[in-house]
Chains A and B, each alone.
Chain A
Amino acid sequence: MKDVIRRARALDEEYNVFNSIAEEVETEGSGRLENVVVSVKDNICTRGMQTTAGSRILEGYVPPFDATVVEKCRGEGAFIIGKTTQDEFSFGTFNVNTPFGVPRNPHDPERSCGGSSGGAACLTAVADFPHIAIAESTGGSISCPAAFCGVVGLTPTYGRTSRWGLVDYANSLDKIGCIGKTVADVALLLSVMSGPDEYDSTVLRVPEEDFTGYLGDSVEGMRVGVPGEYFPGALDPEIARIVRDAIKGLEELGASVHEVSLPHTGASLASYYIIAMAEASTNLAKFCGLRYGLHLPLEGSFDEYFSRVRGRGFSEEAKRRIILGTFARMAGYRDAYYLKALRVRTRVIEDFRRAFKGVDVLAAPTMPVVAPRFDEIAGMEPIQHYVMDVLTVAPNLAGIPMISVPCGKVDGLPVGLHLMADHLQEGKVIRAAHAYEVSR
């Protein structure tokens, strides 16, 4: 354990995965995470350790409390090693939207780790000590970097884990989940983190589950649905081939494969972004240079001071989203944008509900591309970043559980298989993912 901090610093030098690293090894309690190192995405509060959410406006903020999920991990004996780098407030798909370190893909340092939980996925891939990452997803921020870095990412049902201590992006979309080297790792961490919390009224009141109990279960008789809309013409044909092979692999293990349709997939991207930006614009109103974070000299009126601090402290992407989100909620536009997007969301949820009447899990590629180069990303317009989320936003909008597992490589770059199930059916995705993982 003592060597872990030195190792973490060396990995950070090479890959830029941390915003903060613990000074000394500290553990309390004992239990399921004894001798396990747990990293925490930097938008989740850690007592006594800086929490920036990847933003200049929270630089220097040291929370006086632990997020509930962090407290639970500490209680089971975990060593909280540090805070992993991310896109500012989780606004991004490539972990480049941050003034702090941009993590480098372990398979090719000229390429992105994916986002927004890029640091978490990268560290998971390169750590040479027992480690599982606490991460967070709003529109795909766990699945994307897990796919790009070749590790396992588990996004639970909305409301499975408490969001107390999470710096909010969008309250109806944010979920705390985990990234690990194996399905067993993420099943373990989710078991520790999940459960009711008096500080978060949106946590689902359901019995606690030990998700590791699903490991090793056979997929004999399991019905796997393949949505046609998730294999569009624009999808990299190599990725399509690798993912279809993986689905065939499940069939060979005894599952049956069925074609399904999720007709509102196309509109889900716009629906997601409008809702997420609208919620984000209200959540980010709290950052104004007063009680915490970035402060400037107290000059001018309230409006002048707030505008100056926010202008200085937010990066471009945050500003774009605040503006678009404010626009979507404005009188005169609210019905056409925000409420319309919420109605489209209902259609998306209905698509999944209908599909799950006939199948146990859905299988698709996690991302339409493999990890892009940083110079390619630099040439992209904002809208080109957004469309990369096309395969992850719909299940995130619906709040269903999903897991991305590595299923092959294109030119040495990892490809993810995305398995999704109905609300509260983490057991099914874990079962299918584990069976696939073990068979490779």
Chain B
Amino acid sequence: MAGHWEIDKELLEHLTKVSRLELTEEELERFTDQLRVILEAFREIDEVETDGVEPSFHPSELKNVWREDAARKWDWDPLGNAQHKEGRYFKGPRIT
């Protein structure tokens, strides 16, 4: 696998598999170059001193919010936008 801040075709193919994205051979070639350039530009974050700094997952403090665990009625059809269905089930491709 490629080192820190590098991306090669092998790593790219692995990433497309993991994220379930079919790319053409031409896209794979082109993306390898483009992503390499982008990652090079992102190196900038390495210049910032962050020892002992907490990561900010959100821009401000969030507090958890609670509600009653009570069921609520809704009136829309979950299958309304599905094309692959059978009875009251979504239908999907076979597992393997």
- Name A's B-contacting residues (CB within 8 A): 60-62, 64-65, 158-159, 172-173, 198, 201-202, 204-205, 264, 266-267, 269-271, 273-274, 281, 285, 288, 290-293, 295, 298-308, 310-312, 314, 316, 319-320, 322-324, 326-327, 330, 333, 336-337, 339-347, 349, 381-383, 386-387, 397-400, 423
Q: In the complex, what residues of A have CB within 8 A of residue B94's CB?
A: 300-302
Interface string of B36-62 (1 = CB under 8 A from A): 011101111111101001111111101
Q: B41 is contacted by which of A60, A270, A307 (Cβ under 8 Å)?
A: A270
Q: A340 is contacted by which of B7, B15, B45, B78 (Cβ under 8 Å)?
A: B45
- Asked whether, in the complex, the Cβ of A292 is within 8 Å of the Cβ of B42, the reply is no
Q: Can you name 6 extra interface pairs (CB under 8 A) apart from A172-B57, A288-B20? A: A205-B65, A267-B44, A298-B91, A323-B19, A346-B54, A387-B41
A137 to B31 Cα, complex, angstroms: 26
- Asked whether, in the complex, the Cβ of B45 is within 8 Å of the Cβ of A292, the reply is no
- Name B's A-contacting residues (CB within 8 A): 4, 7, 11-12, 15-16, 18-23, 27, 31, 34-35, 37-39, 41-48, 50, 53-60, 62-65, 67, 76-78, 80-84, 90-96
- Asked whether, in the complex, the Cβ of B54 is within 8 Å of the Cβ of A343, the reply is yes
Main DSSP-derived SS at the A contact region: helix
- Asked whether, in the complex, the Cβ of A307 is within 8 Å of the Cβ of B21, the reply is yes
A265 to B83 Cα, complex, angstroms: 47
Q: In the complex, what residues of A have CB within 8 A of residue B64's CB?
A: 201
A308 to B35 Cα, complex, angstroms: 22
A264 to B23 Cα, complex, angstroms: 36
- A-B contacts, 13 of them at CB < 8 A, read A173-B59, A266-B47, A288-B20, A301-B93, A302-B92, A306-B93, A311-B21, A319-B31, A323-B12, A340-B50, A341-B45, A342-B56, A383-B34
- Asked whether, in the complex, the Cβ of A323 is within 8 Å of the Cβ of B35, the reply is yes
Q: B21 is contacted by which of A60, A314, A330, A346 (Cβ under 8 Å)?
A: A314
A172 to B55 Cα, complex, angstroms: 13
Total contacts A-B at CB 8 Å: 180
Please give the distance in Å from A137's CB to the nearest CB on chain B: 13
- Asked whether, in the complex, the Cβ of B16 is within 8 Å of the Cβ of A323, the reply is yes
A274 to B46 Cα, complex, angstroms: 13
- Asked whether, in the complex, the Cβ of A201 is within 8 Å of the Cβ of B59, the reply is no
Given the known inter-chain contacts A201-B65, A274-B45, A343-B50, please indicate yes or no for A327 contacting B38, CB distance below 8 A: no
- Asked whether, in the complex, the Cβ of A347 is within 8 Å of the Cβ of B48, the reply is yes
- Asked whether, in the complex, the Cβ of B93 is within 8 Å of the Cβ of A302, the reply is yes
- Asked whether, in the complex, the Cβ of B45 is within 8 Å of the Cβ of A270, the reply is yes
Given the known inter-chain contacts A291-B82, A345-B56, please indicate yes or no for A304 contacting B38, CB distance below 8 A: no
- Asked whether, in the complex, the Cβ of B81 is within 8 Å of the Cβ of A345, the reply is no
Q: In the complex, what residues of A have CB within 8 A of residue B93's CB?
A: 298-302, 304-306
Please give the distance in Å from A206's CB to the nearest CB on chain B: 11
- Asked whether, in the complex, the Cβ of A172 is within 8 Å of the Cβ of B95, the reply is no
Determine the residue in chain B with the shortest Cβ distance to A318: B21
Q: In the complex, what residues of A have CB within 8 A of residue B80's CB?
A: 62, 64
Main DSSP-derived SS at the B contact region: loop
- Asked whether, in the complex, the Cβ of B56 is within 8 Å of the Cβ of A346, the reply is yes
Please give the distance in Å from A284's CB to the nearest CB on chain B: 8
Q: In the complex, what residues of A have CB within 8 A of residue B21's CB?
A: 307, 310-311, 314, 319, 322-323
- Asked whether, in the complex, the Cβ of A339 is within 8 Å of the Cβ of B48, the reply is no
- Asked whether, in the complex, the Cβ of A295 is within 8 Å of the Cβ of B83, the reply is yes
Q: B31 is contacted by which of A293, A323, A336 (Cβ under 8 Å)?
A: A323
Determine the residue in chain A with the shortest Cβ distance to B79: A291
Q: Which 7 A-B pairs have the closest CB atoms?
A: A399-B59, A311-B22, A342-B55, A64-B76, A292-B81, A343-B50, A305-B93
A382 to B60 Cα, complex, angstroms: 30
Determine the residue in chain B with the shortest Cβ distance to A295: B83
Q: In the complex, what residues of B have CB within 8 A of residue A288's CB?
A: 20
- Asked whether, in the complex, the Cβ of B84 is within 8 Å of the Cβ of A295, the reply is yes
- Asked whether, in the complex, the Cβ of A308 is within 8 Å of the Cβ of B22, the reply is yes
- Asked whether, in the complex, the Cβ of B44 is within 8 Å of the Cβ of A398, the reply is no
A346 to B96 Cα, complex, angstroms: 44
- Asked whether, in the complex, the Cβ of A382 is within 8 Å of the Cβ of B38, the reply is yes
A391 to B4 Cα, complex, angstroms: 28
Q: In the complex, what residues of B have CB within 8 A of residue A158's CB?
A: 58-60
Q: B27 is contacted by which of A264, A319, A337 (Cβ under 8 Å)?
A: A319
Given the known inter-chain contacts A158-B60, A322-B21, please indicate yes or no for A302 contacting B95, CB distance below 8 A: yes
Please give the distance in Å from B78's CB to the nearest CB on chain A: 7
- Asked whether, in the complex, the Cβ of A290 is within 8 Å of the Cβ of B82, the reply is yes
Please give the distance in Å from B72's CB to the nearest CB on chain A: 10
Given the known inter-chain contacts A270-B44, A340-B45, please indicate yes or no for A307 contacting B53, CB distance below 8 A: no
Please give the distance in Å from A397's CB to the nearest CB on chain B: 7
A271 to B55 Cα, complex, angstroms: 11
